[in-house]
Structure 1
Amino acid sequence: MQPRIPRPTVIAAIIVGMTALTLAGFLLPALWYEIVDRRDAGRLILALLGAGAAFALYARLLWQNLMRRTAPAHRLGLAAIAAICWALPPLLDTGQGWGNALLVPAGLIAVVLPVREAIAVTAAATVLTPVYGVLLGLPALTVLYEVTGVPLGAFSGYVTVWLFHVVQELREARAELARSAVGEERLRFARDLHDVLGHSLQAVALRAEVAERFVERDDGRVRKELTEIQTMARDAVRDVREVVRGYRATSLRTELDGMSAVLRAAGIRCERPEVSPELPAHVHEPLGWVAREAATNVLRHSSASWCEITLRAGRDRVQLEVVNDGAARRGAGDAGSGLAGLAERITAAGGRFRAGPAGDGTFRVTASVPAKGDA
């Protein structure tokens, strides 16, 4: 089961919160000692103010960079965090865990600075931090931990922000693909409408010009031209209705080809089933609409990684089933208007339609229509 991806701000808030908890774990033993054992109000206030200021500034810088709101002033913020964290051990007691504060700034090095500068600063910090630890009299194991902790912290911060931005860009790409699919459908409809009306209206205009020329000379010719104009106008109205209803040259094979291509372009694994050439002609239009709407729903309303399309042609009914993972959790009253419209179309064609979560993290759309047109 693939969970639905939350909004970017929710993911950013979770990252900031988890990072704050991790950093608090570094200094928890030292703060516990100040509160429970030492009980020196002045030192406790200094410890809380220093740690609180460093954590608050750290959280703000991390949030700003997750939201791509970078600024030159962030370098000053990183420097301020480093100054606070490097000042706490000598001001308090390095023997009670305050030496861990030296590692706190490492997680922001590759987040605030460009990659080349971050590599240089990380290398310098990897050397200077243990040297400073030795001068403070930290235990050998603590100094060794800091040698490995600085590059690991810098790399961890970089990967966290990078993965967040990758997820955000994938969401934007998915939304853009959905908009492109809708735009392509509009262009297709516009082309069909132009093909239908362009020739018909041009022919009507020419017939009207001919009738105008003979209006004073040949009443019979005028009546003939007007009759032709009426016939052309009725044919144009019929053709437009066919375009709007999707009857004009609708092919289920074409719709499934387009659906699988769009989903694969969005990074969703999808294979088109084989469509028998003996499939009844009347099933193409309603099942084609199901394929279009199902593809749009997968792109817009799920975080799918795969989509399975199954076409079954029996003696009595032809069934199309579309299943995808990453189903959105919706209430019963949240069904989209697209699915409601599909249900109406399939019912009008004498078929059956079902759509909804299957309970295992998948979303299933099933439509079946009679195999015989007069059913």
Structure 2
Amino acid sequence: MQPRIPRPTVIAAIIVAMTVLSLAGLLAPPFWYELLERRDAARMLLAAAAVGAVAALHARLLWLNLMRRTTPAHRYGLLAITAACWALPAALGVDHGWGNTLIVPAGLFAVVLPLRQAVVVTALATVAAPAYGVLLGQPAMAVLYEVAAIPAYTFSGYVTVWFFHVVQELREARAELARSAVGEERMRFARDLHDVLGHSLQAVALRAEVADRFLDRDPGRVRKELTEIQTMARAAVRDVREVVRGYRRTSLRTELDGMTAVLRAAGIECARPDVAADLPAHVHEPLGWVAREAATNVLRHSSATWCEIMVRAGGDRVVLEIVNDGAPRRAHGDPGSGLAGLAERLAAAGGELTAGPVGDGTFRVAAAVPRGEP
């Protein structure tokens, strides 16, 4: 079971709390010595005030920088912490652990300051703090500890904040990917629904017009057209359900059969082309959608009298070309939803789409997809 990642504010609060606990572990021994052994009220008051102020300001600066609210004024807070931590050993002595306060500010060097400045300040502190400790009479081991601890504390503070920001950015990237996936799925669904219903409803409307035309002259033809309308309507309902479920698979042969039948019913001369039996399965769907959209555009946006369909499967590509007349009277397609959607489909399949007037009164749609798997 994968653990749930808390919110960024919760993670930041945990980091701040752990940092304060580590400071308490560093500063508690000398403070307890003052409280239990020396029992000097003035010293205890000074120690409590200094330790409390340092811990509170340290936690505040760390929290603000974790929340990406860094400002130049935070440097004054770091300076105040450094001054307090370096003043305590001078005021209370370096014995019993007060010399440890010299390394406390190092945890904020790379958090508050820019990286280059933090490196310079850390190098200076690594030299100055031990020298100051020697001046105050610190033991040799304590001085050596400061030489190693100051760079380690600086690096620890930097890595802690860096990891927090990385986790936050990964969370944001994950959320953005989820939103992008939802948006792409919505676009796919809208495109599929447009292609399915656009073709089916146009065919139903055309059959209804034919039935109306023969209503008084040929009742048999009207019954035939009504039967076709029922069949198309049921097929449209089935297609919409399949689109919603995401399982719809388009066949080029089926689409070309339907296209030629619809165009012929509209009085447009159209011969069904031969489709090679060995066409790879992955080319049927994108080219089938091209045939569907082209049929809808011919019926809706042109005054065509003929339409020619060619399927070529030579070399490493399979090409579907559809040419019709009647292009000058009306513009073809809606590049925002129809042909643009087809271009997206073909690009996703590794192919390409070209569509536009040829110049001799015809409109040409050509789609090519690779014969091999993309």
Q: What's the TM-score, normalizing by structure 2?
A: 0.61
Which residue of the partner structure matches residue 158 of structure 1?
Answer: 158
Alpha-carbon deviations, 1:8-39, whole Å to 9, x = none?
A: 22222221111111111211221011101111
Q: What amino acid is the match of 2:71? A: A
- For 2:56 and 2:28, how far apart are their aligned partners in 1? 16
Number of the residue aligned with 1:188: 188
Q: Which residue of 2 aligns with 1:204?
A: 204
Q: What is the correspondence of 1:304-319 to structure 2 with a 5 Å cutoff?
A: none
Describe how 1:105-124 pairs up with structure 2 within 5 A. Answer: 105-124=105-124
- The reply on whether 1:9 has 2:25 as its aligned counterpart is no
Q: CA deviation at 1:110?
A: 0.3
**Residue 231 of structure 1: how far off its partner (Å):** 3.6
Aligned residue pairs: how many?
A: 250
- SS of the residue 2:70 aligns to: coil
In the TM superposition, what is the alpha-carbon distance from 1:151 to its structure 2 partner? 0.8
Residue of structure 2 in register with 1:91 after alignment: 91
Structure 2 counterpart of 1:49:
49
Offset at residue 131 of structure 1 (A): 1.6
Query: What displacement does 1:224 show?
Result: 5.5
Shift, 1:183, TM fit = 3.3
Paired with 1:213 and 1:72, the residues of 2 have a C-alpha distance of 81
Q: Confirm or deny that 1:67 pairs with 2:77.
A: no
Under a length normalisation based on structure 1, what TM-score does the superposition of the two structures give? 0.60
Report how far residue 90 of structure 1 moved. 1.1
Deviation at 1:152, TM superposition (A): 0.9
Distance 1:71 1:214 in 2: 81
Which residue number corresponds to residue 305 of structure 2? none
CA distance in 2, matches of 1:145, 1:51: 21
State the distance in 2 between where 1:61 and 1:215 align. Answer: 85
2-structure distance, mates of 1:176, 1:122: 38
Q: What is the one-letter code of the residue matched to 2:82? A: A
Instruction: Give SS of 2:147's match.
Output: helix
SS of residue paired to 2:90: helix
Q: 1:4 to 1:245 in 2, by over 3 A?
A: closer
Q: Which residue of 2 aligns with 1:27?
A: 27
Distance in 1, matches of 2:171 and 2:142, equals 42
2:270 counterpart residue number: none
Give the corresponding residue for 2:139: 139
The structure whose Rg is larger is 2
- List per-residue Cα deviations over 1:244-295 (Å, max 9, x = no partner): 3444239xxxxxxxxxxxxxxxxxxxxxxxxxxxxxxxxxxxxxxxxxxxxx
User: Within 2, Cα distance between the matches of 1:244 and 1:142?
Assistant: 71
Per-residue Cα deviation, 1:201-249 (whole angstroms, up to 9, x for no partner): 2223334455566678877766665554444333212321232344423
Shift in CA distance, 2/196, structure 1 to aligned 2, threshold 3 Å? closer
* % identity of equivalent residues: 76
Deviation at 1:128, TM superposition (A): 1.3
Tell me, in whole angstroms, the C-alpha distance in 1 between the residues paired with 2:236 and 2:246.
15
C-alpha distance in 1 between matches for 2:141 and 2:247? 77
Q: Distance in 1 between matches of 2:247 and 2:102?
A: 71
- Report SS of the residue matched to 1:155: helix
Partners of 1:105 and 1:244 lie apart in 2 by 60
Matched to 1:157, the amino acid is: G
SS in 2 for 1:72: coil
User: Partner amino acid for 2:60?
Assistant: R
SS at match of 2:201: helix
1:77 maps to what in 2?
77
Residue 136 of structure 1 aligns with an amino acid whose one-letter code is L
After superposition, where does 1:314-333 map in structure 2 within 5 Å? none
Tell which deviates more after alignment, 231-240 or 23-32.
Answer: 231-240
> What do the CA deviations read for 1:152-183 (whole angstroms, capped 9, x no partner)?
11011001111122222222333333333333
For residue 2 of structure 1, report the CA deviation from its aligned partner: 5.5
- Quote how far apart the aligned CAs of 1:7 are: 2.4
More moved, 106-115 vs 197-206: 197-206
Q: Which has the higher mean CA deviation after the structures are superposed, 161-170 or 227-236?
A: 227-236
Unmatched segments (≥5 aa) in structure 1: 251-375
Matched, 1:129 2:129: yes
What is the distance in 2 between the residues matched to 1:238 and 1:143?
81
1:249-328 alignment, distance < 5 Å: 249=249
Larger RCO (CA under 8 A, 6+ residues apart): 1
Give the aligned residue type for 2:113. Answer: L
Q: Which amino acid aligns with 1:202?
A: Q
Aligned with 1:97: secondary structure? helix
Q: Distance in 2 between matches of 1:116 and 1:127?
A: 17
Aligned residue in 1 for 2:233: 233
Amino acid at match of 1:152: A
- In the TM superposition, residue 40 of structure 1 has moved relative to its aligned partner by 1.1
